[in-house]
Amino acid sequence: MKLDRDAIKNGVIHEMVREAQDSGFMDPRPEAERQALLDAVLDKRDPDGSIWVFGYGSLMWNPAIHFTEKRCGLIRGYHRSYCMWSPGGRGTPELPGLMLALDHGGSCRGMAFRIAPDQVREELDIIWSREMIGRAYRARWVLARTSEGEVRALTFVIDRNYIRYAAKVPRDVQAAHLATAKGRLGSSMEYLENTVAHLDELGFSDGPMHDILKRARAYSGAPPAGRWENGKWRTIQKRS
């Protein structure tokens, strides 16, 4: 299933969250809390009323929002990382995928999108349904350096206290899950390939994501076995 604009507006993510909640893998934000966080962001928009949003994963190649301008940008203080276990979307509880987030330290190249003042509320509602329905991310303002100057942009950073935060997963374990995990939104490999392809289009053809893709493509083993322990996936062994 493609996670496009219509699917998001029609509530597919809310449906997936309810399923994950029933299975014990999701603690969604209450609607009042989610709206309060959105209102706080809107209060800090640029003086002209517009907002820039910085994408580093699927937002780069599938923004699903209306925008008036986009620019390649570099932010500092955060790096792109496969640091969140995903038992839904692009994985299952039996074989979770890994999802990208911004984690602390380093730098990250991505795409900044400008939302026009008269579209900010509607477009951020879509982004909020996509990124802020759960408790994995914190919305943060960053400075994105572009060829046309710096822009102040909104982005989404992993909360390291989040129960499914995946810190320091070995590269070979990452590759095994990315090569084999699939869910309702497709495969983890597809997500990785789309992200790397977009980085290539931007002129960045060598980096950590490319190394992970090479490892995932070279993986030929069975899906990794493991179990959930206090919300964390623990790899046990490779199935024979």
Q: Which residues are catalytic?
A: 131
Within 10 A of 78 (CB to CB), how many other CB atoms are there?
22
Q: Measured between alpha carbons, how far is 153 from 162 in angstroms, rounded to an integer?
A: 23
Phi, psi of 156 (to 5 degrees): -130, 120
Ramachandran area for residue 133 (φ above 0: left; ψ -120 to 50: alpha; else beta): alpha
Contact by Cβ (8 Å): 113, 55: yes
Burial of 29 (0-12, 13-18, 19+ CB in 10 A): middle
Q: Measured between alpha carbons, how far is 30 from 24 in angstroms, rounded to an integer?
A: 16
